[in-house]
Amino acid sequence: MARLSIFILLLAGFLVGLNAFSQPEEIVEKTEREKIVFWHFWGGEERKVVQEIVRRFHESQDRYWVEEIPVPGQNLDMKFYMALAGGDFPDLVNQDDQVVAQWAHSGVILPLRKLVADENEYRQLEKWLLPTAKKIGSYQGKLYALCNALDIRALIFRNDVLNGRDPPQTIDEFDAIAKRSHDDSQSILFLPDDRRLWAWGVAFGGSFYDETTGEVTVNHPRIVEALKWMVSYTRLHGLENIRAFRSTNRETGASSMILDGRYGMMMDGQWRIPELDRSKPPLDYGVVPLPFPKGGKPNAGWVNGNFFVVPRGCRNPLGAWEFMKFWSGFGGNERHAAITATSGGWIPASRKVVVEPSFQDFLEQHPKFRIFVELADSPDQIPTPPVPIQSYFFERLNRAAEEALSLSKTPKQALDDTNKDIQRRLDNVLKRHRADKPRESRTVFSVK
């Protein structure tokens, strides 16, 4: 009983905290429109972008009114489950964590087929989405999330570090530039990030999961090779030197570090491009797809993005669907979605939004952004595997990369251990699922 009381108090405190982030009283229209309660993770200046999208939606129709509520910080999924348990949850959530498959598996979100008017509209949606966007939103062949923006990684570099060379296309060409010696101890041309094995593993020709057999394959030989290559930079610079470099440069951010020369090359996303283009004096820089070794894949990497999900049992699923379409561009809303994409620096989830004049104007202003848009159309941009333990899969692989990069384990040992851990947990969840009641009758806390 004491534990239940504590949980209720925590839940009440959380919901009170949410109210503090609601729209100010003076901007809430006194209206008879149907309310859509919308949770998202954007704060600060980015929240102003969201509020402008909401304002345009309000102007575009007279039936629905969106109450946008930022849910800042980590563990949005935990907060979502708490709200479900308390019975006071939103109509719509925008998220970018690796949760679609596990939320779908646990039965807490609606498949999109339940929201669309008919089978023909659903088929149109499947064709309208880029394949990468469709993958992000799918679980067991069904769409559960509508991707509204894609995040793609590429290689960003200062042209002065090339020393007259062409931009690198292969790993050997990349190493010839990034591993050359230099005298400035405050500058390191390139450092791999443990979160980037997802992208390098695919570029090296590996696969993290076999959907046909259900087998985890994070110790695929090409992924082991990718991690060994990443570790070669730890050995080049020395673990203590890297730790000292990162501790003194942690607060400045990757963009400022490439601007002032402390990084010469980095893997990063399209969101950096408008920021780099605004630099004074102008930065002489370039962008290319990730280099790859012999046997690897061109135009390859890891893709994620922002997506909408609708909680099962929400009060206004049809209103949520209309707002989702307005934001993403589906259903004749491409012109609005192009404006949205340029305001946030996002890659649209459909080619039909990309070709809109306002987005093409944005690409003319930021031509290096175009490379990321083209990469989003590549079949070798692969999201996190769609399994019921998606978040654990993502974080556990990141930990394996960190173990290898810190030299506490060899790349092969780190990936072998990780493969066993992920496969064991996945097998246990699927075993419980087979023994469980039908999904609709299970508690929302069943997949952990």
At 244, is the pLDDT very low, low, confident or very high (cuts 50, 70, 90)?
A: confident
pLDDT of 29 reads 54
For the chain, what percent of residues have pLDDT higher than 90? 75
Distance CA(372)–CA(370), nearest Å, equals 5
Q: Is the pLDDT assigned to residue 6 strictly greater than 60?
A: no
4 pLDDT more than 90: no
Q: Decide: 351 and 344 in contact? Cβ < 8 Å.
A: no
Long-range own/partner contacts, residues 422-430 (CB < 8 A, 24 or more apart): 422/216, 422/218, 422/389, 422/392, 422/393, 422/396, 422/397, 423/215, 423/216, 425/389, 425/392, 426/214, 426/216, 426/387, 426/388, 426/389, 426/393, 429/105, 429/388, 429/389, 430/214, 430/388
pLDDT at 9 over 50: no
Q: How far apart are CA 363 and CA 367, in angstroms?
A: 5
Query: Can you give the pLDDT at residue 18?
Result: 47
Task: Please write the tens of the pLDDT for every residue from 325-347.
Answer: 999 999 999 999 999 999 999 99
Contact 418, 397 (CB under 8 A): yes
Q: What are phi and psi of 347, to 5 degrees?
A: -85, 120
Average pLDDT over residues 382-392: 97
Dump pLDDT digits (tens) for 411-447: 999 999 999 999 999 999 999 888 775 544 444 333 3
CA distance 360 to 351: 11
pLDDT one-digit tens code per residue, 95-152: 999 999 999 999 999 999 999 988 999 999 999 999 999 999 999 999 999 999 999 9
Q: Is 382 a residue whose pLDDT tops 90? A: yes
Whether the CB-CB separation of 38 and 90 falls below 8 Å is answered with: yes
Residue 248 is predicted with a pLDDT of 72
- The pLDDT assigned to 355 comes to 98
Q: Which residue has the higher pLDDT, 29 or 436?
A: 436
Domains assigned to the chain:
15-150+304-378 (3.40.190.10), 152-302+385-432 (3.40.190.10)
88 to each of 75, 83, 95, how far by Cα in Å?
18, 5, 18
For position 13, what pLDDT does the model report?
A: 47
pLDDT of residue 186: 53
Report pLDDT for 306.
Answer: 97
Residue-wise pLDDT for 32-49, tens only, equals 899 999 999 998 889 999
pLDDT in tens, 248-273: 765 455 567 788 778 899 999 999 99
CB 229 within 8 A of CB 119: no
Residue 22: pLDDT over 80: no
Q: What is the pLDDT of residues 168-224, one digit of tens each?
A: 999 999 999 999 855 454 568 999 999 999 999 999 999 999 999 999 999 999 999
- Please give the average per-residue pLDDT across 225-232, as a whole number: 98
Task: Give the pLDDT score at 246.
Answer: 79
Which residue has tokens 């894609």?
A: 150
Q: What is the pLDDT of residues 208-225, one digit of tens each?
A: 999 999 999 999 999 999
